[in-house]
Amino acid sequence: APENARNDRYIQNPQIASLGRNSIGVPGFLKGLEHAHQKYGSGHIGLHCCSWSELVWKALKQALKGVPVSEHFLNATQTKISQEELQSSEAKYLRQLVNKGKSVDYFNDISIYKRLIETMKIVASNGSDALYQGGQLGQNLVQELGGILTLQDLKNYQVKESEPYMSNIGQYEVMVSPAPSSGPELLAFLSTLEYLNSSFSNFGSITADYLHTISNVLENLEELQLRLGDLVNDSSDQTVQNIVQFMLDKTNAPKWISSIQGESLGSDPNYALSEPVGSNVAVMDKHDNYVSVVTSLNTWFGSKIMTQDGILLNNAMANFAIPDDSG
C-alpha cells in the first residue's frame, strides 16, 4: 500500500478500497518478473535469448502481430463494470478501451493499446527502473494519480521471497504459495479430501450428502482464508501464522466438514469476498524446471483506473486475502 494510505479513510468509506485512485496498490508485477529473471534465469545470452530485453521483445512481437478483441472481453465490459463506474472521470482511458473495443477486431487498432506497446518498448530498454527509479513511466503514473502514489512509494518497493508450504497428500508432496495466497486453503482442502477418502468407503459418489459435505468444507476454509493478510512484521503476523498452522494441521480435517465449525468462525464484514479474478501461466522445461505465474487486478478491471501509458492498475487494497502481483 502507498505510504499515505490511511486505514481510517477506508473504514469511513469502504468503497474507496476497491474502486478508484485510493484503492491502488504499488504495482509489483514488473519488478517481480525482473527479480525472477535476474536471480533464477539461466544466464544464457545467445543470438536470440535470453537477456531481459530479448524476453520482453518476444512478448512484444506477439502483441504486434495482433491481439483479437474476444467475446469474453466484450461480455465482461457489459456484465463486470457498471455504466456509473465507466463514466467516472477517473476512468477516461478505460472508457476509451471499452468503447473502441466494441467496433474493432483487434486491440492493436485502439490508441490506448498502442500506448501500451510503447510502454513495453521502454520496459524492454530500461527494465524496471523506468517505473521504480524515477523513470518516465513512474513520473507519468505519479502525476496522473495526483499524489495518491509517490515516487518514493515506487522506489521503496521491494520484492519479497517466501518459502512455500508443503504437505504430503497420499503419495504426493504438494507445494503451494504461502499466505496471503490461497495456498493454505488448498492444502487444507486436499487434506480433508484425503481424510474423507480414507474414512468413508463410498466417498466420491455424487449424492446430496457428498455435495453438502464439500460445501461445508469450502465455506469453512473460505472464512479462514479471508483472514490471511500479508506478513508485514507487525503484530498481525502472529495472527496470520496461527490461522495458517490451524489450516495446515491435518488433525483439523474433521472440523472443516462440520456446519457447526462454520457457525463458530462467523463472517466478518471487513473481509467481504469480491469475486477475485486471476490469470495463470505455467511452464516446465526439459530439465524439469517449473515456473508458475499468477497475475491479477484483484477484481474485474481492478481499480477501473487506466493510465495514459496503457497500464490498468490493480485495486490491491480491496481485500487482504487476494494475492498481490509482486511476482
- At 269-307, the pLDDT tens digits run 444 545 667 788 888 888 888 888 888 887 889 899 999
Of 327 and 272, the structure prediction assigns the larger pLDDT to 272
Cell numbers that stand for 36 in this block: 525472477
CA atoms within 13 A on the CB side of 95: 11
| H runs (alpha helix) in the chain | 7-12, 29-40, 52-65, 71-79, 83-86, 92-101, 111-126, 129-132, 136-145, 151-156, 183-199, 208-225, 236-248, 253-257, 259-265
Residue range 244-258: mean pLDDT, rounded? 89
Q: Which of 192, 188, 190, 271 is nearest to 228 (CA)?
A: 271
> What is the Cα–Cα distance from 289 to 102, expressed in whole angstroms?
41
**pLDDT recorded at residue 322:** 32
Read off the pTM: 0.80
CA distances from 104 to 66, 67, 78, 203, 309 (A): 12, 11, 16, 51, 20
Say if residue 323's pLDDT is above 60: no
Residue range 40-60: mean pLDDT, rounded? 88
Cα dihedral 118→122→125→131 (10° resolution): -160
Percentage of residues in the chain having pLDDT higher than 90? 46
DSSP SS3 for 72: helix
DSSP-assigned states of every residue in 78-110: HHSS-HHHHTSGGGHHHHHHHHHHTT-SBGGGS
Q: What is the pLDDT of residues 85-142, one digit of tens each?
A: 999 988 999 999 999 999 999 999 999 999 999 999 999 999 999 999 999 999 999 9
> What is the Cα–Cα distance from 317 to 324, expressed in whole angstroms?
9
**pLDDT recorded at residue 319:** 38
DSSP SS3 for 57: helix
> What is the Cα–Cα distance from 166 to 123, expressed in whole angstroms?
35
Please, which pLDDT band fits residue 316 given cuts at 50, 70 and 90?
low
DSSP SS3 for 44: coil
> What is the Cα–Cα distance from 230 to 239, expressed in whole angstroms?
11
Of 321 and 11, the structure prediction assigns the larger pLDDT to 11
Mean of all residue pLDDT scores within the chain: 85
Q: Which residues pair with 168 in a beta bridge?
A: 173
